[in-house]
Structure formats: C-alpha cells, structure tokens
Amino acid sequence: MDGRLLVFSGNANVELASEIAADLNVNLGRALVGSFKNGETRVKIEDNVRGCDVFVVQPTCPPVNHHLMELLLMIDALRRASAARVTAVIPYYGYAKQEKKTAGREPISAKLVANLICTAGADRILTIDLHAPAIEGFFDVPVDHLQAAPLLAGYMSSLHIPDPVIVSPDAGGVGRANRFRERIGAGLAILAKQRPEPDTAEMLEMVGEVEGRTAIIVDDMISTGGTLIEAAAMLRERGAKEVYAVATHGVFSPDAVASIGQSRLVETIVTNTIPQHDNHQQARISVISVAPLFAEAIMRIHKDLSLSVLFS
C-alpha cells in the first residue's frame, strides 16, 4: 500500500484512538462526527484521504446503535472520498452475544452488523477478543483478530502470585482459560453455570481444586458483573485464598461497578477497548491499554507484514 497512513476516530473511544495515533507517530485525522438537530448522525471528513490507507477506530460500545451508525457513515464517507483502503478498527464488537439463535424467531444480530459494515465499504476488519470466534466468518472481508491475553497475563505475572489457579466461569471459556493458564504457569478450574434469563447467571458446580490458592477468573467481557460476583463467592466458599478477575472488555452496565466494589474480588483487570471512568478505581478495577498492540497491528497491516508475531 503506497498511500499515506491515516487514523480517524468516531466518538466511541477518542482517547484510545489518540493513543494509537501517538504510538504510530501520526496526527489523528480531522473529522466532524456529531448530530443534526433532528438527531440524525452527521459525518464530514475534513482531511484529504484520496489514495490513503485509512484506519477508523470505533468500538461499538454503549450507546451501541449510535456508535455503530457513526462507524458506518464514516466508512461510507471515506469510500466516497476515494480512500485507497478503509480498515474498520473495532476494539469492541457490539451485538457479539447474539451470534446464534437460542430460540425461535430471533435474529442473528452479529451477522447483520457484519453485513452492514461490509456494505458500508470496509475493506478489512481489525478487532480483539470477539465474544465468539465464529463471528470472523460473518465477514466477507479479511479479519485480523487480536488477543489481549499476552497483555493481561503479563500484568498478572507481574503480581508474582504464588500457586495461582486459572478459573473459567463457564464451559464455553475453557479454551480461553487454558491458554491463559499456559502463559503464566498455573492450574485450571472450571465452573458450570446456567442463564435462566438474559444477563442473569447462576453458578451450579465446579471442577478443579482451589483450596488455599489464589483464583484468577478469566473471561472475555464483563457486563452486569453477575457471573464474576457469583463465581468469586463460590470460589471463596470452596477455600480460595483470594480471587482476581481479568477480562478484555469492561462493558459495565449501570449497577455493575457498585456490585463489583462490594464483591469479594481483590482486583478486576480490564483493557481500554471501552472507555472507563475514574470511579472504577473505587471498585478496585484496573485498566490496561491495548493502544500499543493496535498500533503495531495497524503498522503491520499498512506495510503488508505478518501479524503472527503479535500472538506469541
């Protein structure tokens, strides 16, 4: 790709986009992203992008529909302005929990969103820790799927926790937890849960030994915090000395932070794929930046280099 590298941002996570641009040693592209008086989203690209290699940083985090529309309109505007290539950088992919039908007459929302992004004109997708890896196949363009595990595992290793055990909060996350376990050299435990209704989790049973050890719950996202709180309570009842939690995406519904602050979790570690507020520190929530990882991936995509080194 001979064109200049440009990075633009919607309003979803300007701070992360600015960090990425700074790591790339480029200025964040100028764009007007706002609303008309009638509430419709307004986008105008103010830099010349003709022939450029453009990256749009925009997680589709709450308010999801608004941020998704900003992303779609920015991609369309860039295509119509003759950008050579447009890569949608989506640190958090909204609607990812709806990647399959769980009952009759339900949509597969994750697939519909993928169709919208491709139709808008994205040539490539760069994301991290999709809720369901199968979502990669929903896109008709190349997808680079990064992992936050090396960053999160590095942080946990720096704490020098003796005899840790990695805990998967459900059967679906066993692979993720096992890869994390291999990175820091720890044991593995698995919790079984059921969801009697959306956003509600009940812990049923546990496989593995946690008595007298420090448990580290590994998940991809934290929404209501119910799963973590129930898991931490069960682990302490089973004799765990301390309980930590790590996750890539801190969605945090309105009551989640307060609930986590009152829980038995020693510390909860998330990344900045979604903007976090200062009051999270009161709930013992720590934030790790993924900006260097995305910056390296963007530079490698721009130069047509392999991204495999980022997964080691």
SS (H, E, C) 130-196: CCCHHHHHHCCCCEEEECCHHHHHHHHHHCCCCCEEEEECCHHHHHHHHHHHHHHCCEEEEEEEEEE
Q: What is the largest CA-CA distance in the chain?
A: 61
Q: What is the DSSP letter of 210?
A: -
> What is the side-by-side order of every strand in the sheet holding 85-90?
5-9, 53-57, 85-90, 124-128, 143-146
What is the distance, to the nearest Å, from the Cα of residue 160 to the centroid of all Cα atoms in its chain? 26
Indicate which residues carry an active-site annotation.
193
The answer to whether 136 and 130 have CB atoms below 8 angstroms apart is yes
In whole angstroms, what is the distance from residue 207 CA to residue 189 CA? Answer: 6
